[in-house]
Amino acid sequence: MAQQKVEHDFQTVDWCRSNHAVAQAEKVAIVLRKTLEHRGRVSIKEIQEWIGINNRNAALLVKQLIENGYLESNSVKPLSLKATNKAKQFFWVAV
């Protein structure tokens, strides 16, 4: 079966075919932007409030952002988080 060629205009919904993936990307962008604006450390509770998700999902999102180098934690309970240089570069913030 031949694969159909799709033209893209580089709008979010064009290159990302899943609405769930788009929603997740928007949540990540909100978390990173607000963390950078905070100019200090933030908590998982604050992240929950920003994007309206439960504690478990916020913890999973934070874990992924830490593993991918966008956030770093103080490794103490409760965690306090801050944006890394990689996150700053994502938003064109001077490093």
Q: Summarize pLDDT for 27-84 with one digit per residue, the tens.
A: 999 999 999 998 778 999 999 999 999 999 999 999 999 999 999 998 777 789 999 9
Residue 2 lies in a domain: no
Does the pTM surpass 0.85? The reply is no
Residue 6 lies in a domain: no
The CATH number of whichever domain residue 37 belongs to comes to 1.10.10.10
Neighbours of 63 (CB within 10 A): 13
Residue 8 lies in a domain: no
For residue 10, the model assigns a pLDDT of 52
The count of structural domains within the chain is 1
Domain span including residue 52: 15-90
CA gyration radius for the chain? 16
Residue 33 lies in a domain: yes
Give the mean pLDDT of 81-90: 90
Residue 72 lies in a domain: yes
Residue 1 lies in a domain: no
Residue 95 lies in a domain: no
- What distance in Å separates the CA atoms of residue 21 and residue 25, rounded to the nearest whole number? 6
Q: How far is CA 55 from the centre of its chain?
A: 15
